């Protein structure tokens, strides 16, 4: 058993009530948890989406995928759920309460420090870039900016590390909530490459080897396919 930031986990990543619960497991109470973190993410996704419908259907799907992907990591790393999302415990609890009120047991996996985990280099810049280009200016977009910036640190395609079904869902998410920015990706660059180029341009740094993509040696790196297998079974 381990204890991180005030959360107690059993040997399989299940959260244990730290006080008042007499050691009762809060989440997940489902069979199959111990068969692997991928399964745990998929189980979490099904559990989240199986509750009463709240909010916009696409947004709800996206948030469920993000939480499930981060939940799978908590079992493997022991890190608090909100650190995998780049959110404070308060924002994570607000998100769960708004879209998944049947799943408030997940708040047992939040950190007790009030923070969102340590920012990596460029994370704040990407978060700010997204925040500066919100479509509607709603709270959900503040959460999404933080979550996309945190998950962009993971090693897979961004759509995979957000727990989404395919790249098309990421494009839809970015065009829906960060339209002024996403609409600038007119040539369909890989999203991480596009963000990186945008951040460099903001700083006045030229990263391109050529004035024209068509004549550039890095064309395949910037525009290659973002195919792959989804990390969660949807
Ligand atoms: S292909 Fe070359 S010129 Fe085009 S965005 Fe990539 S690095 Fe820049």
pLDDT tens per residue across span 169-222: 999 999 999 999 999 999 999 999 999 999 999 999 888 888 899 899 999 999
Task: Please indicate whether residue 25, judged by its CB atom, sits closer than 6 Å to ligand 1.
Answer: no
> What average pLDDT does this structure show over 104-133?
94
Q: Which of 81-85, 123-127, 158-162, 202-206 has the lowest mean pLDDT?
A: 202-206
Q: Range with the lowest mean pLDDT among 17-21, 39-43, 139-143?
A: 17-21
Q: Whose CA is nearest to atom 8 of ligand 1?
A: 208
Distance from the CA of 171 to the center of ligand 1, in angstroms? 20
Categorize the per-residue pLDDT at 118 as very low, low, confident or very high, splitting at 50, 70 and 90.
confident
Is a pLDDT exceeding 70 seen at residue 120? yes
Is the separation of the CB atoms in 99 and 55 below 8 Å? yes
**Interatomic CA distance for residues 167 and 17, integer angstroms:** 38
Long-range contacts of 38-43 (CB under 8 A, 24+ apart): 38/72, 38/231, 38/232, 38/233, 40/13, 40/71, 40/72, 40/75, 41/68, 41/69, 41/71, 41/72, 41/163, 41/231, 41/232, 42/68, 42/232, 42/233, 42/234
pLDDT surpasses 80 at 36: no
pTM: 0.84
The predicted structure's pLDDT at residue 38: 59
Q: Give Cα separations from 126 to 11, 52, 100, 103, 129 (angstroms).
A: 35, 33, 27, 29, 5
| Higher-scoring residue by pLDDT: 159, 20 | 159
Nearest to 14 by CA among 22, 23, 5, 180: 23
Share of the chain above pLDDT 90, in %: 71
Q: Which among 195, 215, 216 is the best mutation to test ligand 1's pocket, defined by most ligand atoms within 8 Å of the CB?
A: 216
pLDDT score at 133: 98
């Amino acid at each position: 058993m381990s204890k991180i930031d005030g959360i107690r986990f059993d040997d399989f990543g299940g959260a244990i009530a730290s006080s008042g619960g007499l050691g009762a497991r809060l989440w997940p109470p489902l069979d199959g948890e111990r068969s692997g973190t991928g399964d745990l993410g998929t189980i979490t996704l099904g559990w989240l989406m199986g509750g009463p419908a709240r909010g916009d259907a696409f947004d709800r799907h996206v948030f469920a995928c993000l939480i499930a992907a981060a939940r799978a990591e908590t079992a493997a790393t022991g890190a608090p759920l909100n650190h995998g999302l780049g959110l404070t415990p308060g924002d994570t609890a607000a998100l769960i309460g708004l879209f998944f009120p049947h799943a408030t047991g997940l708040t047992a996996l939040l950190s007790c420090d009030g923070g969102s985990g340590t920012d990596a280099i460029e994370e704040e810049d990407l978060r700010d870039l997204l925040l500066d280009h919100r479509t509607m200016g709603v709270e959900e977009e503040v959460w999404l900016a933080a979550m996309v910036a945190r998950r962009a640190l993971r090693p897979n395609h961004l759509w995979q590390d957000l727990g989404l079904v395919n790249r098309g869902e990421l494009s839809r998410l970015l065009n829906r909530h960060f339209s002024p920015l996403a609409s600038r990706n007119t040539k369909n660059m890989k999203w991480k490459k596009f963000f990186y180029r945008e951040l460099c341009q903001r700083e006045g740094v030229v990263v391109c080897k050529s004035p024209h993509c068509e004549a550039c040696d890095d064309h395949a790196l910037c525009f290659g396919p973002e195919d792959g297998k989804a990390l969660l079974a949807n």
